[in-house]
Amino acid sequence: MRRGVAAAAALMLSAMPAAAHPHVFIDYAVVLQFDGGALKSVRMTWTFDEMYSSMLFQDYTSHPRGPLSAADVSQLRKGAFEDTADYHYFVDVTLNGKPVEVKKVTDFAAKFERHRMTYSFTVPIPDAPASGKSALEIAAFDNEFYIDFELVDKDAVGFENSEGLGVSCAPKKARKDTPVIGAVDTIVMACNWGQAS
């Protein structure tokens, strides 16, 4: 009996829940924005797969093709962006080992180019120190796999006002918890800058 239960449990787990598996594919890139030697914010850019881009375009714009108007961008923000606040905008970020809680983002923008919808928005990083060594890890990640986030192949990271800080970034394998299938491996962008004081 016990073996039966164990076998059944293993089978069940191997086929475990939810409508997880990705239905949306997003390429993302980040720009680290410094001010006075301190990291102030990160600009996040999402580029959707063509199929999802097409759905967003058809449902949230008032014209069959062409560039987005300010009204379109506002529709997209209200209808297909703002609710991601419940998921911290799918941004996972730690500064010097401590998670930064992402509650609010600013400067939402959207464009539609070469069949793809691109969103960008600014994630404020409060209380980053202006001196000393700092380390940041950032990733876009949906722990339920409805959305598959991947770093773009080229220019996945950029910098603003980073002169003299010696910023260096590289993608790094990391482990993240998911509610459905436990810990999974993913890629995060890991950055270091500043001098030991």
Partner 1 sequence: MTALRALIVALLLALALAPAASADSITGRGAPPESAGASLPFANGFMMRLAAAQKRLNDTISAEFRSVRDGGSRMAILVILGLSFLYGALHAVGPGHGKAVVASYFVANRARWTAGIVMGSMISLIQGVSAIAMVGLLAILLQWRQFEVLNRAASVEFVSYALIALLGAVMLFRALTGRGHHHDHEHHEHSPHPPLPSGERGKGSTHRLDLKLVIAAGLTPCASAIIILLFALANDALGVGIAAVAVLSLGMALTVSTIGVASVLGRHTLLRVLDAVGVKSHRFEQSLAAVGAFCIVAVSSLLMLGAWYRI
Q: Which residues bind partner 1 (CB under 8 A)?
A: 1, 3-5, 7-9, 11-25, 49-52, 54-56, 58-60, 79-81, 83-84, 86-87, 115, 144-148, 150, 173, 175, 178-187
Structure tokens at 161: 């006002």
State how beta strands 147-151 and 134-140 pair.
unpaired
CB-wise, 39 or 56, nearer to partner 1?
A: 56
What DSSP assignment string belongs to 130-143? SSS-EEEEEEE--T
How near is the Cβ of 186 to partner 1 at its closest, in Å? 6
CB-wise, 34 or 89, nearer to partner 1?
A: 89
CB-wise, 9 or 130, nearer to partner 1?
A: 9
Q: What whole-number distance in Å separates Cα of residue 170 and Cα of residue 191?
A: 7
Q: What whole-number distance in Å separates Cα of residue 46 and Cα of residue 31?
A: 12
CB-CB contact of 147 with 24 (8 Å):
yes
How near is the Cβ of 130 to partner 1 at its closest, in Å? 35
Q: What whole-number distance in Å separates Cα of residue 99 and Cα of residue 119?
A: 24
How near is the Cβ of 153 to partner 1 at its closest, in Å? 11
CB-wise, 104 or 173, nearer to partner 1?
A: 173
CB-CB contact of 156 with 32 (8 Å):
no
Residue of 136, 140, 142, 180 whose CA lies nearest to 159: 136
Q: Which regions of 49-183 does DSSP assign to beta strands (E)?
A: 91-95, 98-99, 106-113, 116-124, 134-140, 147-151, 157-160, 168-176
How near is the Cβ of 55 to partner 1 at its closest, in Å? 4
How near is the Cβ of 32 to partner 1 at its closest, in Å? 24
How near is the Cβ of 27 to partner 1 at its closest, in Å? 9
CB-wise, 56 or 93, nearer to partner 1?
A: 56
CB-wise, 52 or 159, nearer to partner 1?
A: 52
